[in-house]
A and B are shown apart, each in its own frame.
Chain A
Amino acid sequence: MTSLPSLPTPKKLGLVIDLDTCVGCHACVVSCKEWNTGGYGSALSDQDPYGADVSGAWLNRVHSFEVVPEGGEVVGEAGQARIVHFPKSCLHCEDAPCVTVCPTGASYKRSEDGIVLVAEDLCIGCGLCAWACPYGAREMDLAAGVMKKCTLCIDRIYNETLEEEDRVPSCVRTCPANARHFGDLGDPNSAVSILVAERGGMDLMPEQGTKPVNKYLPPRPRKSLAESAHTLPLAENTEGAKGFFAWLDGMLDRI
């Protein structure tokens, strides 16, 4: 059924992605592909994988953006501009346009936890849901002819055969910078909701009216290098040395 759940879902499971700490290593991208090619649904195929024109279906991708403040210079020339690594996967929108356009009922939003999924045995591979998604969260698997998307690792998060710390999406479990967090964004007291409240978590493209569940934490304000320079102790300056180092400083001076 491609109508959206009529009531707000009791749980809103989703991701919180910290743009301040993401280092752009693409580990989440690779671990996502690895888990999901053997997990829920058909494998994530690649086309011409060892050839010149390689491409394939991935559910998570990391873009890198350059952000230049008003009057700032390009990256590398001044301290103001910055590079922001930007992981992007399905945002599990509350008002998911990819669900309502589906002609077959393959694309659906779970009423219990808000996860947006594709029932692959119903999917005709028309691609309209990918057109409807402004975020580019869906990619067609060209081998299976069905639409693939982030499942929030539904085969991990409820999987009691896994250790409890592994019951999170693969991208979250693998992130070496702890830039990805998983939880219930419908519960104001959950760790992810508190994180979003404290760090001013934001929606992507709110103007599209999709009400995404996933939130992004903005990069923290950055000091310019010049501003930080005077706070760094210089090697030749020994003022303020105490104890053993004060004694050593004096002794070395006297030699």
Chain B
Amino acid sequence: MHPAFSIIIFTTFSGLGYGLAAVLGLGLLDPAATATKCAHALALALISAGLLSSTGHLGNPQRAWRAFSQWRSSWLSREGVMSIITFVPLLISASACVFEGRYLALPGLLGSMLCLVTVFCTAMIYASLKSVQAWYTRLTPACYLLFAAAGGFALASVFAFAGGGNTRVLPLLAALFLLAAWGAKLRWRQRMKTLKSLSTPESATGLGNIGRVRLFERPHAMENYLTREMGFKVARKHAEKLWRIAVVAGGIVPVVLLLTLAALGGQGTLPTTIATLAALAHWAGVFVERWLFFAEARHAVMNYYGG
């Protein structure tokens, strides 16, 4: 599948934003601290930037509001609806923190829950497509949720070190979720690599009972929408290298940095800077992971295109 830049930005930014907002909703940071106020602002900014980016690949973005109508059947519509509903408790929590320095448990916890539901809806857009077998698994939402939580705790750690909260519990939880997320992702990828194709050129053409089916000639000489959108391929050697880059940048580096900081404890500029680097490395790693999520997934239509 074609890894569209706007969609990768959308899923990584909104994942981090909803993750951070969910952690803030748990009340683990001191609501009176300036750092926590900044954290609320960053969470909302990341979510908004992600959602705006998601409209970037639309053919007619001016009609995007119509996407709130089909929540009964469509995960994409559900995600749109949930993203708007989630803004309500998040804005209440953020304004209580920013203007009054207070943590409100009810909108906080409700916001955390809705953040997770929204991320789950995002993941289900992909996990519900039987035509893309690599995505069609419960592991897909598990990965999206765990990555959102890991990113959320990693970002929350930055603000904890900047004076917002406990500098041992938050980075420890971040490391724990980082390990869980990459563990789930490893299982997801192993599943994808060992998949037996549900559909084959034989089942796609119905000619399997005559013999082995091979594409002789494409219907068109040049690329078309289908081959550009669904026929994206990444060289195996590059895929393996990118996967290792993703694990190191997105998993190992932040885990090591955050655990070191947790062991040392204490707030200040230096630990905040290091924690920021850990969070940035995590985002870069997840960006590569998300690129591979699309680039490595094979669409059933490629059975008609010899790929």
The chain A residues found within 8 Å of chain B, CB to CB, are: 1-3, 19, 26, 29, 53-58, 61-70, 72, 75, 80-84, 86, 88, 97, 99-106, 122-128, 130-136, 139-142, 144-146, 202-209, 216, 218-219
Contacts and interface: CB of A to CB of B under 8 A. Distances in A.
A205 B197 CA distance: 12
Contacts of B225: 55, 57, 130, 139-140, 142
B59 A134 contact: no
A205 B9 CA distance: 34
A133 B304 CA distance: 13
Contacts of B99: none
A104 B78 CA distance: 11
Contacts of A61: 219-220
The 6 closest A-B pairs by CB, nearest first: A125-B59, A145-B59, A136-B301, A61-B219, A69-B211, A134-B300
A202 B130 CA distance: 21
B59 A124 contact: yes
B206 A203 contact: yes
A127 B55 CA distance: 12
Interface string B207-226: 10111111111111011111
Contacts of B186: none
B230 A205 contact: no
15 contacts: A1-B70, A3-B72, A19-B207, A29-B219, A67-B207, A67-B210, A67-B212, A69-B211, A88-B304, A103-B76, A122-B66, A124-B58, A124-B67, A134-B130, A216-B206
Contacts of B300: 134-135, 205, 208
Interface in B104-151: 125, 128-132
Contacts of B57: 126-127
A126 B58 contact: yes
A1 to B, nearest CB: 8
B59 A131 contact: no
A205 B204 contact: yes
B80 interface: yes
What band does the interface of chain B fall in when counting residues whose beta carbon is under 8 Å from A? 35 or more
Contact of A202 (B60, B201, B206, B216): B206
Select the residue from A64, A70, A86, A99 with max chain B CB neighbours within 10 A.
A86
B203 interface: yes
Given A55-B223, A124-B67, 6 more contacts: A53-B222, A63-B305, A100-B73, A125-B60, A130-B230, A131-B230
Contact of B301 (A97, A105, A133, A219): A133
Contacts of A80: 211
Nearest to A57: B225
Given A124-B66, A134-B300, A202-B206, A145 B216 contact: no
Contacts of A58: 220, 224
Majority secondary structure of chain A interface residues (helix, strand, loop or mixed):
loop
Contacts of A19: 206-207
B129 A132 contact: yes
Contacts of A106: 66
A57 to B, nearest CB: 7
A141 B75 CA distance: 24
B64 A136 contact: no
B268 interface: no
A130 B226 contact: yes
B226 A139 contact: yes
Given A66-B214, A136-B226, A101 B76 contact: yes
A202 to B, nearest CB: 4
A157 B36 CA distance: 64
Contacts of B74: 2, 100-103, 128
Select the residue from B1, B64, B210, B213 with max chain A CB neighbours within 10 A.
B210
B205 A204 contact: yes
Nearest to A99: B73
A159 B230 CA distance: 36
Contact of A144 (B59, B73, B130, B132): B59
Select the residue from A124, A132, A146, A216 with max chain B CB neighbours within 10 A.
A124
Contacts of B60: 123-125, 145-146
Given A58-B224, A130-B229, A97 B206 contact: no
B212 A68 contact: yes
B167 interface: no
A10 B69 CA distance: 27
Contacts of A97: 129-131
B1 to A, nearest CB: 7
Contacts of A2: 70, 72-74
Given A204-B205, A209-B130, A72 B211 contact: yes
A81 to B, nearest CB: 7
Contacts of A124: 58-61, 63-64, 66-67
B260 interface: no
B77 interface: yes
B246 to A, nearest CB: 23
A140 B206 contact: no
B118 to A, nearest CB: 14
B185 interface: no
